Chain A
Amino acid sequence: MSKTETKGMKYTEEHEWLRVEGDVIVVGITDYAAEQLGDIVFVELPEEGTEVARDDEVVVIESVKAASDILAPLDGEIVEINETLTNNPSLVNEDPTGDGWFFKLKVADLSVLDEFMDEAAYKDHIG
């Protein structure tokens, strides 16, 4: 469904996807998560420059059903946020793995990505 190539993406158990772009990690939620959440009406993003620790609540999403938190997948610094989501939160439903990304995270060592699921493992995870 997505317009974006998902090859090489890693996945968390909380249904986030992680994609390496240069020396940073782009973070968003999966098609499956967007579908489960339903229509998204509000996204609250962190400020650029924020230092976050793994499992910090960094993004709040409100769908027509409920509020959900997005956790930082790793320790790092938020170096960029997707400000278009503030006025157009439905992008998360329309293109969750592409234009609907949330933030870019700078981490000390990209090799930590290896511990996350690849696409096949994630598909097993969601059954």
Chain B
Amino acid sequence: MGDLKRTGLYDLHLELGAKMVPFAGYDMPVQYPMGVMKEHQWTREHAGLFDVSHMGQVLLHGGDAAAQLETLVPVDVIGLPEGRQRYGLFTNEDGGILDDLMIANRGDHLFVVVNAACKEADIAHLRAKLTCDVEEVQDRALLALQGPSAELVLSKIVDVTDMRFMDVAIRDSAFGLLWISRSGYSGEDGFEVSVPGDQAVAFARALLADPEVAPIGLGARDSLRLEAGLCLYGNDIDTTTTPVEADLSWAIQKVRRTGGARAGGFPGADTILGQLTHGAERKRVGILPDGRAPMRGHTQLFAAETGGEPVGEVTSGAFGPSIEAPMSMAYLPSELAEPGATIWGEVRGKRMPAKIVTLPFRPATYKR
């Protein structure tokens, strides 16, 4: 454990009574004394503060950074307006997903946020494939404030009331220049804020001083994102899943598709564009098990209550505190992936019925 990295908020997590666990090479809070269920519910009803400083923050400088980045992602980056952010995917030559990321247009440069577990590989990938300047931001922390009270709380520090979902802005504050986006990973309205490293603890304390704010660990972060139908890289998407199989086709804008002005030109384009036209053999879906027992990751799925080989597998599964029921994401053959149909998951040697549903399990409350 001695080689685990720490974020700038490590001491604050301990002070707040966090239970720490290894995650993506970092020693991170999985829960605070409130516990996972209450932290989840608190975020849905008030505002939750998450330390996501382990994620990678990267700046791409240079006039043609957008055009260059388009060679690595099946996303319309050139058409992304200044002050806006968009979800993206790094793909490989087979059409698989290397990582998912957020891309923000900040005028003369792009700001990119990538997953902690992938950040070294992502940065190496960017440096190997692009000629623009790739700068890893290492002197900033990243905090997320999520939930219905997030706007009101953050507004006491910096005005954000004019921002809508997926807007980005750089604003001055008592804690230095804040890089703000109105986005998150909970299905709630909220913000992700990059703050100068030497101001991070003071900024976090200022937010936590508000009675509407509680610190939230990775446990609730997972159940929140799962209810919102959002993928966790490494579980629900990876190099063996394509964006079309993962039901992320919405992230591929028309201009990058067959017939578009900049169709293709990203790794795995033949496979991905082919699947967009002809369909993929399997698809990511939501499933709602009957009863209260969760079907967790790697639960085998069957087309019938008895007999037959597995037809698919659960990639993430947990109990959803807001929907008050267990929920899972899974891959199923496209012909079986019919909302409303029943699928069987093997839990402790017994096949249990579950209903196939469209995602998300709970509608998002973004301020669009």
Contacts and interface: CB of A to CB of B under 8 A. Distances in A.
Interface of A: 38-39, 41-42, 44, 60, 62, 64-67, 86, 89-90, 93
B294 A38 contact: no
A93 B219 CA distance: 17
Contacts of A38: 31, 35-36, 219
A64 B41 CA distance: 13
A67 B35 contact: no
B293 A64 contact: no
A39 B219 CA distance: 11
A39 B320 CA distance: 12
Contact of A64 (B291, B292, B319, B348): B319
A86 B38 CA distance: 20
Contact of B292 (A65, A89, A93): A89
A34 to B, nearest CB: 11
Contacts of B37: 39, 41, 64, 90
B29 to A, nearest CB: 13
Contacts of B292: 41-42, 62, 86, 89
6 contacts: A39-B35, A39-B37, A41-B319, A42-B294, A67-B348, A90-B37
Interface residues of B, number: 16
A58 to B, nearest CB: 13
Point out which of A60, A65, A86 has the most chain B C-beta atoms below 10 A from its C-beta.
A65
Contacts of A60: 293, 348
A48 B348 CA distance: 20
B319 A62 contact: yes
Contacts of A66: 296
Given A39-B35, A64-B319, A44 B219 contact: no
Contact of B294 (A39, A41, A86, A90): A41
Contacts of B36: 38-39, 64-65
A93 B35 CA distance: 11
A62 B293 contact: yes
Nearest to A57: B348
A83 to B, nearest CB: 13
B194 interface: no
Contact of A62 (B31, B35, B294): B294
Nearest to A38: B36
A44 B318 contact: no
Given A60-B348, A64-B219, A65-B36, 6 more contacts: A38-B36, A41-B326, A44-B293, A62-B293, A64-B318, A64-B319
B219 A42 contact: no
Contacts of B85: none
A67 B35 CA distance: 17
Interface in B292-327: 292-294, 296, 318-319, 326
A65 B219 contact: yes
Contact of B223 (A42, A64, A90): A64
Interface in B166-182: none
B269 to A, nearest CB: 40
B324 to A, nearest CB: 9
A44 B291 CA distance: 11
Indicate the member of B219, B293, B296, B318 with the most A CB atoms within 10 Å: B293
Nearest to B35: A39
Contacts of A89: 292
Most buried by B among A44, A62, A89: A62
Among A39, A66, A67, chain B packs the most CB atoms within 10 A around the CB of A39
Nearest to B220: A64
A42 B348 contact: no
A68 B326 CA distance: 16
